């Protein structure tokens, strides 16, 4: 995975792109600090940001996709539910002091970035562009 935001990562909606960039920054920060421990401020901040992202970003994205009758909305919603579940599990594991959290969180975010943002989100971006909605 390249660690550079580029135009291919854009979904064409400035608010959503900004939120994706914030998530990308969390990922890059975790990658830059592989030595982070489960009880570090880095992990606590990352989980705070990921929780916020799951709330604000998904609400905005889902509203936009509903408004334009996106045909793959159910798949998008399922992905968002999985993300929220995973972040909640990381929060619980952090509270329990699991030393596996930093590495597992990084692996999850890499997978989310490649699979969801560069996969599912690119599909809805293409849908919106094809209809001149963005």
| Domain assignment of residue 82, yes or no | yes
Specify the length of the chain in residues.
134
Condensed to tens digits (0 to 9), the pLDDT of residues 67-110 reads 999 999 999 999 999 999 999 999 999 999 999 999 999 999 99
What is the per-residue pLDDT for 99? Answer: 95
Report d(CA 8, CA 72) in Å as an integer. 20
| Domain assignment of residue 6, yes or no | no
| Domain assignment of residue 20, yes or no | no
Question: Across the chain, what does the average pLDDT equal?
Answer: 94
Q: Is the Cβ–Cβ distance between 60 and 15 less than 8 Å?
A: yes
Residue 96 DSSP class:
T
Residues in Cβ contact with 71 at an 8 Å cutoff, skipping those fewer than 6 apart: 127
Q: Is the Cβ–Cβ distance between 17 and 10 less than 8 Å?
A: yes
Mean pLDDT across 3-27: 90
| Domain assignment of residue 40, yes or no | yes
Condensed to tens digits (0 to 9), the pLDDT of residues 44-79 reads 999 999 999 999 999 999 999 999 999 999 999 999
| Domain assignment of residue 2, yes or no | no
The predicted model scores a pTM of 0.92
| Domain assignment of residue 1, yes or no | no
What is the per-residue pLDDT for 23? Answer: 94
Report d(CA 30, CA 4) in Å as an integer. 14
| Domain assignment of residue 114, yes or no | yes
Total tally of structural domains belonging to the chain:
1
Domain of residue 30, residue span: 25-130
Q: What is the dihedral of CA 67, 72, 78, 79, to 10 degrees?
A: -100
| Domain assignment of residue 38, yes or no | yes
Band the pLDDT of 134: cuts 50, 70, 90: confident
What is the per-residue pLDDT for 1? Answer: 45
Residues in Cβ contact with 74 at an 8 Å cutoff, skipping those fewer than 6 apart: none
What is the per-residue pLDDT for 3? Answer: 65
Band the pLDDT of 42: cuts 50, 70, 90: very high
CATH number, position 45: 1.20.120.50
What is the per-residue pLDDT for 92? Answer: 97
């Amino acid at each position: 995975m390249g660690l550079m935001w580029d135009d291919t990562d854009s979904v064409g909606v400035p608010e959503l792109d900004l939120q994706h960039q914030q998530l990308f920054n969390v990922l890059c920060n975790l990658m830059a600090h592989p030595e982070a421990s489960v009880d570090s401020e880095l992990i606590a901040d990352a989980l705070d940001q990921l929780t916020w992202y799951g709330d604000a970003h998904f609400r905005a994205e889902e509203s936009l996709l509903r408004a334009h009758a996106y045909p793959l909305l159910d798949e998008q919603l399922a992905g968002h539910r999985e993300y929220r579940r995973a972040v909640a599990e990381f929060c619980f594991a952090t509270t329990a002091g699991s030393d596996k959290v930093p590495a597992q969180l990084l692996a999850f975010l890499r997978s989310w970035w490649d699979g969801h943002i560069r996969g599912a989100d690119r599909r809805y971006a293409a849908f919106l562009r094809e209809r001149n909605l963005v």
